[in-house]
Amino acid sequence: MAQASLPAAIEAPTSRGAIGFKFGSEGADLRTPIIAGNWKMNTTLSQAISLVKELRDKLDRIHGVDKVLCPPFISLAAVKELLQSTSVGLGAQNMYFEEKGAFTGEVAPNMVADLCQYVILGHSERRQYFGETDALINKKVQAALKAGLKPILCVGEKLAEKEAGKTIPIVSTQVRGALIGIPTPPGLIIAYEPIWAIGTGKAATGPDANSTIGAIRQIVSSLYGKEYARGVRIQYGGSVTGANIAEFISQPEIDGALVGGASLKAADFISIVEQTAAIKKAS
């Protein structure tokens, strides 16, 4: 529980340098880029199978990037079969924190871990439509880690919060709230997804996303130390497409993307992964 005794190092840093050091590209070579497709509540089982068949072989041949598909729960088992002996990983979009029991309609961590390596937690749609709080997300992150899953923890500010200059304090509260009481979390991935950019076609700019992700890395550093922070992967998400991925992935702090709408279009998703591999290899 290292962070309990840490000073409140991040009040509201306004830039990457705010607490005395910069990460920049430092450690970037330790971080394999990761592109995850969040299919959200789209695709029937047969549609999911068709989409995976379109994606699978092409994604499998792209090296130097971790590729993850996150279909709806009901398709996970079938998609797992289709991804056997490929390099494409599988993730769920949510899970409950309790181990088992009378929680009608919920899915337990070990059920997810039986099929998947990853789980998206704290997505803004879960926060917004299903009332998920930092305290609940904290329980889910703990439970996911206990089950051996890699959480993709989503954080991001609303438009009004951005306009009020509150982006960093908001994401700081979300990151700290989700990780409170958790010792160094192996395999943690963070996705910075400004809510105003999700599904709107209005992505952040590369430099703005880079700056916020740099600040998130510093928050992680204040919790778990610089070495851990240098290795933690932080994605950008929000209206990422094949047409704008290069702007994000060429930034030193940005280690990949969480892709919604464009992950349902095979050609676009493959292009996002291909460009990521090429740009990170060259940098």
Minimum CB–partner distance for residue 126 and ligand PGA (Å): 10
Our CB check for ligand PGA shows the closer of 222 and 263 to be 263
Question: Looking at beta carbons only, is 190 or 259 nearer to ligand PGA?
Answer: 259
* Residue 199 binds ligand PGA (CB under 6 A): yes
- Measured at the alpha carbon of residue 96, what is the angle toward residues 92 and 97, in degrees to the nearest 5? 120
Q: Which stretch binds ligand PGA (CB under 6 A): 25-33, 92-100, 179-187, 235-243?
A: 235-243
> Can residue 261 be called a binding residue for ligand PGA (CB under 6 A)?
yes
245 forms part of the interface with ligand PGA (CB under 6 A): no
Binder among 156, 214, 238, 242 for ligand PGA (CB under 6 A): 238
Choose the stretch contacting ligand PGA; rule: CB under 6 A; options: 61-69, 211-219, 231-239, 270-278.
231-239
In this structure, are residues 180 and 3 in contact, taking their beta carbons and an 8 Å threshold? yes
Which residues are known to be catalytic? Answer: 123, 193
Instruction: Give me the 103-132 binding string for ligand PGA, x by CB under 6 A, dash otherwise.
Output: ------------------------------
What does the chain look like in DSSP terms, one character per residue? -GGGGS----S--SSGGGGS---TTTTGGG---EEEEE--S---HHHHHHHHHHHHHHHHT--SSEEEEE--GGGHHHHHHHHTTSSEEEEES---SSSSSS-TT---HHHHHHH-SEEEES-HHHHHHH---HHHHHHHHHHHHHTT-EEEEEE---HHHHHTT-HHHHHHHHHHHHHTT--S-TT-EEEE--GGGTTTS-PPPHHHHHHHHHHHHHHHHHHH-HHHHHH-EEEEESS--TTTHHHHHTSTT--EEEESGGGGSHHHHHHHHHHHHHHHHH-
Specify the stretch interacting with ligand PGA by CB under 6 A; choose among 25-33, 228-236, 252-260, 273-281: 252-260
Applying CB under 6 A, the site for ligand PGA has a residue count of 13
Instruction: Kindly tell me which of 167 and 221 has the beta carbon lying closer to ligand PGA.
Output: 167
Q: Which stretch binds ligand PGA (CB under 6 A): 81-89, 108-116, 145-153, 257-265?
A: 257-265
Closest approach, Cβ 112 to ligand PGA, in A, equals: 18
Question: How far, CA to CA in Å, does 17 sit from each of 22, 62, 76, 163, 227?
Answer: 5, 35, 42, 22, 17
Among 215, 240, 272, 273, binds ligand PGA (CB under 6 A): 240
Restricting to residues 13-52, which ones interact with ligand PGA according to CB under 6 A?
Answer: 38
Q: Which is nearer to ligand PGA, 253 or 268 (CB)?
A: 268
| Using rule CB under 6 A, residue 187 touches ligand PGA | no
**Is residue 198 involved in binding ligand PGA (CB under 6 A)?**
yes
Among 258, 266, 270, 272, binds ligand PGA (CB under 6 A): 258
- Which CB sits closer to ligand PGA, 27 or 238? 238
**Measured between alpha carbons, how far apart are the two ends of the chain, in Å?**
36
Closest C-alpha to 68, from 39, 94, 46, 47: 39
Contact 76, 92 (CB under 8 A): yes
Q: In the complex, which residues of this chain contact ligand PGA (CB under 6 A)?
A: 38, 193, 198-199, 237-240, 258-262
